[in-house]
Amino acid sequence: MEQTLVMIKPNGLTLKLVGEVISRFEKARLSLVKMELKSLSLQQASEFYQEHKGRDFYEPLIKFMTSGPIVALVVQGENAIAAVRAIAGATNPKDALPGTVRYDFAPNTRENILHASDSTKSAEREISFHFGKI
């Protein structure tokens, strides 16, 4: 079984979408392995998004991700990474398919409701970042 990390971003909590997002994963026969409501410090957000440092969206992203609590999830299932990314939709909501989380709820690319790991390597690093070895 494959595992992946999902972070429901601060606006996902503000818009009260946590249950909706989790429901979509469960309807796709994915399982929750771990879940934690937490706030990211500037240092944690900077470390998590270090690969984007120097890009024009980096500083606004860090500010957004530290603006309120997030929900970190470990989601598991057959082809979980691809399944979660399909449910999430394209990073830019304008490119997302109808019925995806980002198409349905995201106002823009930066505030696109959730983060989803894009590969096995990223999932391992990101799960470890939030939950340690599981």
In a domain, 93, yes or no: yes
Q: Tell me the mean pLDDT in the region 101-130.
A: 95
Q: Tell me the mean pLDDT in the region 43-70.
A: 94
Closest CA relative to residue 69, chosen from 8, 131, 5, 6: 8
Closest CA relative to residue 85, chosen from 124, 56, 112, 53: 112
pLDDT tens-digit series, residues 73-98: 999 999 999 999 999 999 999 999 99
- Confidence band (pLDDT; 50, 70, 90) for 45? very high
In a domain, 90, yes or no: yes
In a domain, 63, yes or no: no
In a domain, 49, yes or no: no
Domain of 112, CATH number, reads 3.30.70.141
* Number of CB atoms found within 10 A of residue 2's CB: 16
In a domain, 44, yes or no: no
User: Which percentage of the chain shows pLDDT scores above 90?
Assistant: 93
Residue span of the structural domain in which 119 resides: 2-38+70-131
Residue 134 has pLDDT above 80, yes or no: no
Residue 133 has pLDDT above 90, yes or no: no
Residue 110 has pLDDT above 90, yes or no: no
Number of domains in the chain: 1
Global pTM reads 0.93
Mean pLDDT computed over every residue of the chain: 96
Residue 12 has pLDDT above 90, yes or no: yes
Q: Which residues are catalytic?
A: 115
- Confidence band (pLDDT; 50, 70, 90) for 67? very high
In a domain, 43, yes or no: no
In a domain, 32, yes or no: yes
Closest CA relative to residue 45, chosen from 65, 67, 71: 65
In a domain, 60, yes or no: no
